[in-house]
Every structure is written in C-alpha cells, then in structure tokens.
Amino acid sequence: MLVSSRGRYGLRSMVDMVINAKNSPVPLRAIAERQGISESYLEQVFAILRKAGLINAIRGSYGGYVLAKPPTEITVGEILLALEGPLVPVDCVQDGKNVHCERRDICLTQPFWKELSDKIGEVLSSTTLQDLANPDHKSI
C-alpha cells in the first residue's frame, strides 16, 4: 500500500518548482540537489510528468522545466495518477476501464474497496500543488 519513490519524488519536485520558479524555468539539477534525489533518476520521473502534460520542458542552455498549468489547477491526484497509475486499492473499483472480475456480483469485499477508493480519491482530488506550497492558505 506504499506509494513508490517515483510518486514521492515527483510530488516533492513539483512543489519545489512552485516555490523556486521565479518567472524562469527550473533546471532539473537544481531540483535534484535541493531535494536530495538522484538527478538521472529524476530525469525519468520528469519524462513521465511531461508526457502527462503536467510540465513543459525548455531545452538548451538556461532551460529547465515549468508547470504546464497554474499550481491552483494541478491536483495531487493528477500527479500521482501519472506516476503511480490508478489511485485505487484494487483493480475492480476502477470506473471507466472495463476491469472484469467475474466475481464482482458475489464479491462481498468490493463495496468496501469502493468506499476506501472514494475516500482516497476525495483527498487526492481536493488538494492542489498550491495547497502544498502555501500550507497557511490551505482552503480546507
């Protein structure tokens, strides 16, 4: 039930970007150093975030990364979904995807997993990057 380093690194790095972006792209090396994360591993994490449309890259000297949207419009759920996959405890409670469990009708544990999944989803979708970067202004 643990979130992997990929998800934790990614979330911390995006908060770092909110705090350290001063109208200019933030280079990966600076993030890695501040956060104490292997730069080359973080590279792969950022590739995922970029392909998910959460950040944009600016190549070349004086380049770096910028958020693709304002931090008030990026939820923790979006970030973890990209890095960790669906945020549910078990496959069978994903809606949309036709995850077929032939026992769904008779499974007594499914409603429990659904309830847990919903509670997790609430927290993840109601917390934005802005909330994490400015804890005092948390809206909740």
Partner DNA sequence: AAGTAATCCTATCGCATTACTTGGTTTAGA
Partner DNA sequence: TCTAAACCAAGTAATGCGATAGGATTACTT
In the complex, which residues of this chain contact DNA (CB under 7 A)?
A: 4-6, 9, 27-29, 37-38, 40-41, 43-44, 46-47, 50, 57-65, 84
Which residue among 66, 84, 99, 130 contacts a second copy (CB under 8 A)? 84
Phi, psi values for residue 91, rounded to 5°:
-60, -35
Structure tokens at 52: 């998910």
Each residue 48-77 as x (binds a second copy by CB under 8 A) or -, in order, gives ----------------------------x-
Please give the Cα distance from 12 to 122 (Å, whole number): 20
Distance in Å, CB of 104 to a second copy, minimum:
12
Q: Tokens 């908060």 label which residue?
A: 15
Sign of the C-alpha dihedral computed for residues 140, 18, 48 and 43 taken in this order:
negative
State the binding partner of 78 from a second copy, DNA, none, CB within 5 to 8 A by kind.
Answer: none
State the binding partner of 62 from a second copy, DNA, none, CB within 5 to 8 A by kind.
Answer: DNA
CA 84 vs. chain centroid, Å, equals 8
Distance in Å, CB of 22 to a second copy, minimum:
18
With b meaning 16 or more CB within 10 Å and e meaning fewer, what string describes 14-47? Answer: bbbbbeeeeeebbbbeebbeeeebeeeebeebbe
Distance in Å, CB of 86 to a second copy, minimum:
8
- Determine the residue type at 30: A
List residues binding a second copy (CB under 8 A): 1-3, 8, 11-12, 15, 19, 36, 76, 80, 84-91, 103, 107-109, 111-112, 115-116, 119-120, 122-124, 127, 131-133, 135
